[in-house]
Structure 1
Amino acid sequence: MSPNTITDAVAALMSRAREELTELVAFKSVADFAQFPRSESEGAASWIVGALRAEGFQDVAVLDTPDGTQSVYGYLPGPANAPTVLLYAHYDVQPPLDEAGWTTPPFELTERDGRWYGRGAADCKGGLVMHLLALRALKAAGEVPVNVKVIVEGSEEQGTGGLERYAEQHPELLRADTIVIGDAGNFRLGLPTVTTSLRGMALVRVQVDTLEGNLHSGQFGGAAPDALAALIRILDSLRAEDGSTAVDGLDGGGSWEGLQYPEDDFRRDASVREGVELTGSGTVSDRIWARPSVTVLGIDCPPVVGATPSVQAGARALVSLRVPPGTDASEAARLLTAHCEAHAPWGARVRCEKTGQGQAFRAGTDSPAYAAMARAMSEAYAGQEMQFAGHGGSIPLCNTLAGLYPEAEILLIGLSEPEARIHAVDESVSPDELRRLAIAEALFLRNYAV
C-alpha cells in the first residue's frame, strides 16, 4: 500500500467529506438543553450511528452518559492479532455567540476564500470526518490494518464529564493499544503538529449578594453596598497589574521548553488591536501552555439598554480557570473559591459553585505510536518534521483514558489551527488541512500495524 494510493483515495473522497460535514454542521448540537433543543444533539448522534454502520462497524450504540447526553460508539474489527486503535471526536459544539456577527449562517457550511465556515467545522465535527476519511482511504487502498474503536462524545464543550464517568463505569469499552484524539490542531496551518500537553479547567459560578432588593441609586447610592461593584472588585483581584493570573495559593511561574510561539505571530493569530499589550509575563508559550489563566466568561447584570438607576442587590459571574499539567483541577477550583470569598469587599456574601472540571494532561512521546505518527506526518506534509506543542484548552477525557489504560499511547491531532477561530464567530476549517491530516492518520494506522 503506497502513500500515493492513500493520497489519491483521500483526494477522491473530499467532495463526499464536504457533503457530510455540511449535514453535520446543520445540527445545532449544543449540549446546553436549556437554550438548544435536545433533538438537535440526538439528531447528530443518530447521523453518526448511520455513518458508522455504513462503514461496517459492529456493536454500534448510542451511550446514555451520566450527564444526560449521548455519545456514540462503534467497533470495526481488523486482521487477527492486529493492535487496537481508539479514534475520538465530539459532535457537540459551542453556541454560535452573536449570530449576526457571522459572515454566513453558523449552522450552514459555506465555502469562502478557500475555507469551509460553520460552527463545529473544525471543533470537532471535522475531526469525525477526518477519521472517516482515513478509514475509507485505507479500505480503498486495501484494508484497515488495525482493529478500530470509535467514540464520538456529546458533551465535551460543556465539561460536564458524562463520557469520563461512563468510561469509568465500563472500563473495557474503550480499551485500546493507542488512542488518537482528533480534537487538537496544528500549531500553524500546514505545520504537522502533535499536541503533548493540555491545561486542565475548573468552571466556577460566583454569586455576590449585598441587599434584600435593588435600591434607587439617587436615594441610597454612596452608602448602600452595590453587589455588582463588589463582584467587579472580586474579579479584578484575580489578575495582577500586568494581567497575569493571581489566584491566592496557585503557582503561576511555569515555563515551556518546547516549540515557542513568537509574540508577533500570537498577536496576529489573536487579532490583538494595535497598541494593546499582551497580558502576563514570560514567553507566550509559557503563558498559554505552562501557566494558569483565569477568564471571566460571563456576568449576569442589567444590560446598558433599559438599565434603571438602581444599586444592584445581587450579581453573578461564570469564571474559567485553566491550569497546567501538575496542578489538580479540583484543588484549583478550591483555591479560586477561597480567593473570591477572601477578596469580597464590604462583607458582601459570596457563594461559589463548581459547574465543570477537567484535569490537565501531559503525553509521553517516546513510543512506537509517536514514531509511526512522525513518519506519517512527514509523508503527508511533504517531508516536514512533526512538531510537539502544548494547547491551552482542555480535553477532560484524556486523563480519564490515561488512568484507565496506563499502557496505551495517546496522540492528539486535529483541525483547530489558529486560523480556524474555534469557539469564536466565523469558525472554519481548511479543506487542505483536512485532506492532509486524513492522509496522515491513514498512513499512521498503516505504519502502526507493521
Structure 2
Amino acid sequence: MTSESPRSSAVREAALSAVPAALADLGALVRIPSIAFPGFDRADVERSAAAVATLAEDLGIFDRVEVKTAAIAGTGEQGMPAVLATRAARGGKPTILLYAHHDVQPVGDESLWESAPFEPTVRGGRLYGRGAADDKAGVMAHIGALRALVDAVGTDFDLGVNLFIEGEEEAGSGSFAAFLSDNADALRADVIVVADSGNWDATTPALTVSLRGNARFTLTVRTLEHASHSGMFGGAVPDAMLAAIKLLGTLWDDDGAVAVAGMTERDADTPEYTEETLRSEAGLPSGVSPIGRGSILSRIWNKPSITVTGIDAPTVRNASNTLSPEVSVVISARVAPGQPAAEAYAAIEAHLRAAAPFGAELTFSDIETGDPFLVDTSGPAVTSARAALATGYGVEPVDIGVGGSIPFIADLVREFPAAQILVTGVEDPHARAHSPNESLHLETFRNALVSEALLLEGLDSTV
C-alpha cells in the first residue's frame, strides 16, 4: 500500500463519515419492493428509480439527472426505468461511468426469511433485506463515494462522472442494449465501474477479472397427445416425466460434471480454496459431496455448469394416477470464459435432440444468452483500483473469477471498446444474494465505499 496524499486522506475521512447516511438511505431503498419481473407492480420499480434520481440530484454535481427507459428487444415494449446522470469532464480529465442496479430478485418463500424481506434489519454486523447486497448496496456505494468526494474537495472538481443505475438487471436486462445505443454519447467513459460482484471474503477485497456467460431456456418434452391412466397404460406408454428424467440425466456424468460435447472450459490457475470453505459459503452439508473434477474454483470459475432451475409438472398435492403428456423445465447453463454463449447453447440443444428417448418431441423456447467476460488487467485504471482497494480495506486485493454471469458487460464492451472496465462489488461470500435472508456485511460496505471514493479522487488527480 502506498502513502496517502493530504487530499486522498481527506477523502478517506469524508468517506468514513459518509457511511451512516449511506446506510440509512440504503435502508430506505430496501423498503421499496422494486421487482422488475413480469407479474409484479411496475409502480414499485418506478418509485425506486425516482428515489435514486433524488439521491443523485441532491449531490449537486451533475449537469443532468433523468429517469429513462428504452425498448425491449423484439417486443417494442418499454423496459423498466433507469437513472442516468451525467457530468462532463473538464481540463482533460477522464470520465468514469458508475453502474449498479436498483431492481431486486423476487422474495421466494417468505417463510424462510428470519425477518421481513423489505424491512431492513441489522443482526450480527449484517443488514438483512432483499436488495441489501444485490445491488442497492452498489447504488449507495456510488452515491456515498461521490458524497465523500464532494465533502472533501467541493463540487468544483474536473473528473467527468456518469451514473447509470439500471432497473431490470435481475429480470434479464431486456432493454440494456437499446439503452446503451440510445444514450451512447451520455454514457461514454474512459473507465467503467460495475458494482455488482463480490469479494474474496468479508475483509479481503477483490477485482473480478473473469465471469462465466449464461444460456437459459425452457425445454418442453412431449410424449402423448393427451393424459392417460397410468394403470391402464403404464409399462407400455412412455410418459413425459419419464422421458424428461432420462433426457436430463444425460447432461451430466457420474461425477456431476457437464457431459455435453462442444461446451468448453478455460485453462487457468486458481487460488487455494478448500472444500471446507465451499461447504461454509454454499451451505453444503457434510453428508453431501461436491460435484465435478479439478480444483474447486476451476469448477466454479473456468468450467461450464448446467442447472435445472424450474419445472412445470403436476405437484405432489395434485398428483393422480396419470401419465403426463408434457413436462417443461427451465435449464440454466453457465458458459466458461472464452466460449461464445450462442455456441454453448447450440451444443446443449444438439445434445438434447440427439439424446431424446422414445422419440419424445422437444420444444425450445424463451432462449436467453449472455457472453462470458475476461478483463484486460494491463490498463492503468486496474492499477488505480487495486491501490484504492488496498487502502480502503487495509488488505491487498485479490483477482478473482466469478461463476455467475453479468451478460450486459458484453454489451458495454461492444458499445465502448476503448473503456477500461472494472468489476467490483460490496458482497461477501455469505451475502446470499437471490436467496432468503440476503444480507450485507456492514464492514465490507464501509470499506467498499471508502475504496471507491479513493478511486474517484485518484482519477480526478490524474495528470
Counterpart in the other structure of 1:228: 241
Within the candidate set 324, 327, 331, 1:312 is matched to: 324
Q: Which shifted more, 73-82 or 419-428?
A: 73-82
1:150 aligned partner, one-letter code: L
CA shift, 1:162, in A, is 1.4
* 1:261–1:125 distance in 2 versus 1, CA, 3 Å: same
CA shift, 1:285, in A, is 1.4
Q: 1:185 and 2:190 equivalent?
A: no
2:444 aligned partner, one-letter code: E
* 1:267–1:287 distance in 2 versus 1, CA, 3 Å: same
Q: 1:52 and 2:56 equivalent?
A: yes
Tell me the distance in 2 between the aligned counterparts of 1:173 and 1:243: 46
Q: 1:154 and 2:167 equivalent?
A: yes
CA shift, 1:395, in A, is 1.1
Percent of aligned pairs with the same amino acid: 37
Contact persistence 1:256–1:285 (CA under 8 A): no
Tell me the distance in 2 between the aligned counterparts of 1:323 and 1:25: 31
1:71 aligned partner, one-letter code: A
Tell me the distance in 2 between the aligned counterparts of 1:76 and 1:40: 28
Counterpart in the other structure of 2:20: 15
CA shift, 1:287, in A, is 0.5
Q: Describe how 1:53-68 pairs up with structure 2 within 5 A.
A: 53-56=57-60, 57-67=62-72, 68=79
Q: Which shifted more, 17-26 or 132-141?
A: 17-26
SS in 2 for 1:327: coil
CA shift, 1:6, in A, is 2.7
Contact persistence 1:258–1:388 (CA under 8 A): no
Counterpart in the other structure of 1:40: 44
Tell me the distance in 2 between the aligned counterparts of 1:258 and 1:376: 23
What is the TM-score of this pair, normalised by structure 1? Answer: 0.96
Contact persistence 2:308–2:332 (CA under 8 A): yes
Q: 1:351 and 2:354 equivalent?
A: no
Q: 1:447 and 2:458 equivalent?
A: yes
CA shift, 1:88, in A, is 0.3
Q: Describe how 1:354-373 pairs up with structure 2 within 5 A.
A: 354-373=366-385
Q: Describe how 1:33-432 pairs up with structure 2 within 5 A.
A: 33-34=38-39, 36-56=40-60, 57-67=62-72, 68-143=79-154, 144-252=157-265, 254-382=266-394, 384-432=395-443
- Can you list the C-alpha shifts for 1:385-439, whole angstroms capped at 9, x where unaligned? 1210001111122111112222211111111221111111111001111111111
Tell me the distance in 2 between the aligned counterparts of 1:156 and 1:273: 31
Tell me the distance in 1 between the aligned counterparts of 2:201 and 2:54: 34
CA shift, 1:197, in A, is 0.4
Tell me the distance in 2 between the aligned counterparts of 1:179 and 1:140: 23
Contact persistence 1:256–1:289 (CA under 8 A): no
* 1:354–1:246 distance in 2 versus 1, CA, 3 Å: farther
Q: Which sections of structure 2, spanning at least 5 residues, go unmatched?
A: 1-5, 73-78
SS in 2 for 1:134: helix
SS in 2 for 1:390: strand
Contact persistence 2:19–2:449 (CA under 8 A): no
SS in 1 for 2:161: strand
2:95 aligned partner, one-letter code: T
- Give the paired residue count: 447
Tell me the distance in 2 between the aligned counterparts of 1:258 and 1:77: 40
Tell me the distance in 1 between the aligned counterparts of 2:396 and 2:23: 28
- Can you list the C-alpha shifts for 1:340-372, whole angstroms capped at 9, x where unaligned? 222111111100124322111101111111111
Contact persistence 2:193–2:424 (CA under 8 A): yes
Contact persistence 2:63–2:87 (CA under 8 A): yes
Tell me the distance in 2 between the aligned counterparts of 1:115 and 1:183: 18
Tell me the distance in 1 between the aligned counterparts of 2:18 and 2:182: 37
CA shift, 1:2, in A, is 3.9
Contact persistence 1:259–1:387 (CA under 8 A): no
Tell me the distance in 2 between the aligned counterparts of 1:118 and 1:145: 37
Contact persistence 1:86–1:179 (CA under 8 A): yes
2:443 aligned partner, one-letter code: D
CA shift, 1:7, in A, is 3.2
Tell me the distance in 2 between the aligned counterparts of 1:397 and 1:322: 15
What is the TM-score of this pair, normalised by structure 2? Answer: 0.93
Contact persistence 1:195–1:389 (CA under 8 A): yes
RMSD: 1.6
Tell me the distance in 2 between the aligned counterparts of 1:194 and 1:183: 11
2:437 aligned partner, one-letter code: D
SS in 1 for 2:427: coil
1:154 aligned partner, one-letter code: G
* 1:145–1:229 distance in 2 versus 1, CA, 3 Å: farther
Counterpart in the other structure of 2:35: 30
2:367 aligned partner, one-letter code: T
SS in 2 for 1:13: helix
SS in 2 for 1:140: helix
SS in 2 for 1:370: helix
2:326 aligned partner, one-letter code: G
Tell me the distance in 2 between the aligned counterparts of 1:427 and 1:385: 27
Q: Which shifted more, 148-157 or 256-265?
A: 256-265
CA shift, 1:97, in A, is 1.5
Tell me the distance in 2 between the aligned counterparts of 1:37 and 1:308: 35
Contact persistence 1:160–1:356 (CA under 8 A): no
Contact persistence 1:184–1:412 (CA under 8 A): yes
